[in-house]
Structure 1
Amino acid sequence: MAREVRAFAVTVLTLATLGAAAGLLWSGLTPRAPYQVAGQGEPVLADPTTQALIAADGWFAVITGGLGLVCGGVAWFIARRWMLPVLLGLCAGGVLAAFLTLWIGSSVTIGAVTVEAAVAANAAPGVSIVPGALELTAKGVLVCWPLLAVGFFALLEGMHGYRESPLRQPYGIEPGGIEPGGPHTGVWR
């Protein structure tokens, strides 16, 4: 029982560490939406037609989905003895990693953040244009990491199980292509 708990904990902690790194990567790659700030007022989206908000969701999905596929594949190849604890660890660790990616990516700014020149040129006098913080507008992308990790793990296990299954043989044919009760020539009829 202790080994299963350890396999679960190692999986969750590994994915959490990758989630922190993914948050930094998301912060460095994703463009920021421009916001207008006038005096002490609340920031308002400067360009309602900006694609930066959608790009933030897209980059989040690409980064976390790609890492989910990698984690699912690596976990399947490494954890042949502790399948269930590792699978549960992929699920729980994937959820934790996705939330860590969101939290760190929206809290930390990596790289130079610029605001489009066209938006800044059209600003009213006394209004400053600033880059906004990263945020997700489509909360559904939070499931990319755990869903793809668990799904790819299950796909690999299903393919491996099918390859080893006796059901893979055609009905009425014994392994080796010999029909039961017939002349044992090894040739199919």
Structure 2
Amino acid sequence: MRHVRGNLATVVVTVLVLALLGVVAGYVWSVLAPATRYVIFEGTRQPVDPETQSLIEADGWFAVVTGAFGLASGIAGYVLSRRHPPVEMLVGLAAGGLLAGYVALTVGTSAKGTVQAAGPGGFTTTTSLGVTAYGVLFAWPLLSTAVFWVVEFAVSYRQREG
């Protein structure tokens, strides 16, 4: 029973630490990514510039920032789990990475804020930050677990050769 509690504690602590890192990642993303300007008229929201690249840039910066945090957390997770079986750490990295990505998205969109201004003719402009390609939310857990397994493979391969 004590072994199960220790394994569960490893998962829970990993998830909580990654969620806290998600707050940091959200602020970093909000600083790096451009906000998109919208026009709101009669309840519909459209980009001010229909050919804007800011939506794609925001998605790209989110993937880069959370991917970098995922790489770092995967390496740190491997180093910290060397004395224990890796399954608990991998579960923590996957679940914590998903939660951290969601936290980063929430914090980043809140940190950049929404600015609204009324214009002539009932137009309202608003500036906000968000993602349009929700697949980028998987960057953190995917890269953290992948780098964990790559390092594990490389180390175990060397041990078998030597």
Query: Considering the TM-score relative to the shorter chain, is it more than 0.5?
Result: yes
Q: How many residues align?
A: 154
1:44 counterpart SS class: strand
2:99 counterpart SS class: helix
2:44 counterpart SS class: coil
Question: As a proportion of its length, which structure holds more strand?
Answer: 2
1:137 counterpart SS class: coil
User: Deviations 1:60-115 (Å, cap 9, x if unpaired)?
Assistant: 000000000000011111211222111110011001111111122122327xx99x
2:77 matched to which residue of 1? 75
1:103 matched to which residue of 2? 106
What CA distance in whole angstroms lies between the structure 1 residues aligned with 2:135 and 2:72?
Answer: 20
Q: CA RMSD in A?
A: 2.0
User: Of the candidates 137, 152, 157, which is equivalent to residue 157 of structure 1?
Assistant: 152
What CA distance in whole angstroms lies between the structure 1 residues aligned with 2:65 and 2:52?
Answer: 21
2:48 matched to which residue of 1? 46
Deviation at 1:125, TM superposition (A): 4.9
What CA distance in whole angstroms lies between the structure 1 residues aligned with 2:53 and 2:101?
Answer: 22
1:31 matched to which residue of 2? 34
1:57 matched to which residue of 2? 59
What CA distance in whole angstroms lies between the structure 2 residues aligned with 1:81 and 1:3?
Answer: 13
Question: Is 1:136–2:131 an aligned residue pair?
Answer: yes
Unaligned runs of 5+ in 1: 115-123, 170-189
What fraction of aligned residue pairs are identical, expressed as a percent? 41
Question: Is 1:16–2:19 an aligned residue pair?
Answer: yes
Q: TM-score, normalised by structure 1?
A: 0.74
Which residue identity lines up with residue 111 of structure 2 in the other structure? V
2:148 counterpart SS class: helix
1:84 matched to which residue of 2? 87
Which residue identity lines up with residue 16 of structure 2 in the other structure? L
What CA distance in whole angstroms lies between the structure 2 residues aligned with 1:28 and 1:52?
Answer: 13
Q: TM-score, normalised by structure 2?
A: 0.86
Deviation at 1:154, TM superposition (A): 0.3
Unaligned runs of 5+ in 2: none
The ranges of structure 1 where at least 4 consecutive aligned residues each deviate by more than 4 angstroms after the TM superposition are none
